[in-house]
Structure 1
């Protein structure tokens, strides 16, 4: 392990207390980062970045480029990164830094804060007291048609094609209804949120879901309105025929840092 490279997780306000954002740091007590390292705050210009030392053999510029091709390693880093950000954001406003942002020493972290000071401060002002909730909607595929009792020889080619065409139309109509239902869910929840963002449907190979993914949305909600938002999702889940809703959160506002996206500096900063 070397103190030379510092992995950055999130930016918070420097409260001016002896320790930056003391409540946030209390929550991080004992929490380990992407390399099993302790996470601490480096303060500069009214801001603080949560960061920890990581080994050069995994995180210097050349090694990191190769490591990012290793999906198993990348998944572990992503989970650890999110764990730190979400723990810090449980009771404070945090601006997540892009995953795999590595700086050279504390000086590199301070330079990142200085370069992005206006963007970070604007995002903290805009997102103070807000959290992100995620809602996904899935539609189960139609049940396979039961085999006909008629002997196959009794079904003409024209009849077979007519039946297959009717099946396709029924399937398309069903998907249309579920997509309309998902649109209604999104429109309803967007009215309860300050901002909403639609993400592309998740790849089934990554999610492990066999059902059709028809909604993948994020909602920026005031922290005090979170219970009301969750209740409304539950009500919609009971009424949304043909849809299965999945609620996740509350999270740090990952989806709403943009347009002031906290990307920070890359390796070598």
Structure 2
């Protein structure tokens, strides 16, 4: 239909596709039903969406609306997580849109080997997220610092010295905490099949004023899930906060790029 497009969520192998009942009643982006498109031994999970909202120009405007982006992302991830409950899943980048099913089938055929490789890597595994936080070092109290100043030091000199000592203490605390986070990442990576470090989130996104020292993703075999959880618990220590999320579909290890002549995305 000329007034609609095909929105893509994820890819699985046809032999272990999501069950039909898993898709029944599942609302995707814009509240659209989700259906499966099978081709070349693979299955793409898609919805029909209006071009008035998901065409290239409307999409550029929509991506500037944080409420729209948040709602769309939640719907996208809800579909991906539902599919991943049944099968090894390769999630697709948010707002990847094609003109129709014919383009989706052509993409599945053209990138068949890429999908098979990725899906083989993530089969029987889930992604776990681990974030490590530390409290910023408190500066030395002005009273204590002032008492330690030489008697001949003027107020300006004393202030600069206290400021220097405070920054040095903060830098040392940061280095120490970063080393501990590196140790945690290496220990968890030893248990995982694959591991990645993402950039630490800005406090406005994390909702915390603490330093985020580690924003890690770990692809863990299902039969090592307990071992991974035990490793996390064994790495907790005073002065840092370890936050674990999951299990998730393997976004950090299976998402592929799809922008190109066959369609467009919002990236």
* Fold shared, TM-score > 0.5 on shorter chain: yes
Match of 1:166 in 2: 165
1:120 Cα deviation from its structure 2 partner: 0.9
Q: Distance in 2 between matches of 1:173 and 1:22?
A: 51
Matches within 5 A, 1:213-232: 213-232=212-231
Q: Distance in 2 between matches of 1:156 and 1:51?
A: 68
Q: Distance in 2 between matches of 1:143 and 1:247?
A: 26
Q: Structure 1, residues 14-45: CA drift from partner, whole Å, max 9, x if none?
A: 12xxxx7243x433332211110111111111
Match of 1:245 in 2: 242
Q: Tell me whether 1:132 sits opposite 2:127 in the alignment.
A: yes
Match of 1:9 in 2: 9
Q: Distance in 1 between matches of 2:107 and 2:71?
A: 25
Q: Tell me whether 1:38 sits opposite 2:37 in the alignment.
A: no
Matches within 5 A, 1:32-181: 32-148=27-143, 156-181=155-180
Q: SS in structure 2 opposite 1:148?
A: helix
Number of aligned positions between the proteins: 258
Q: Structure 1, residues 97-154: CA drift from partner, whole Å, max 9, x if none?
A: 1111111222122122122111111111222111111111111112354452879xx9
Which piece of structure 1 moves more, 84-93 or 190-199?
A: 84-93
Which piece of structure 1 moves more, 46-55 or 161-170?
A: 161-170
1:262 Cα deviation from its structure 2 partner: 4.9
Residue pair 1:94, 1:124 contacting (<8 A) in 2 also: yes
Unaligned runs of 5+ in 1: none
Match of 1:21 in 2: 17
TM-score norm. by structure 1 comes to 0.87
Q: SS in structure 2 opposite 1:118?
A: helix
Residue pair 1:9, 1:50 contacting (<8 A) in 2 also: yes
1:221 Cα deviation from its structure 2 partner: 0.8
Q: Distance in 1 between matches of 2:76 and 2:107?
A: 18
1:59 Cα deviation from its structure 2 partner: 0.5
Q: Pick closer, same or farther for the CA change 1:209–1:51 going to 2, 3 Å.
A: same
Q: Pick closer, same or farther for the CA change 1:28–1:2 going to 2, 3 Å.
A: farther
Q: Distance in 1 between matches of 2:42 and 2:243?
A: 35
Segments of 4+ moved more than 6 angstroms:
none
Question: Aligned-residue CA RMSD in angstroms?
Answer: 2.5
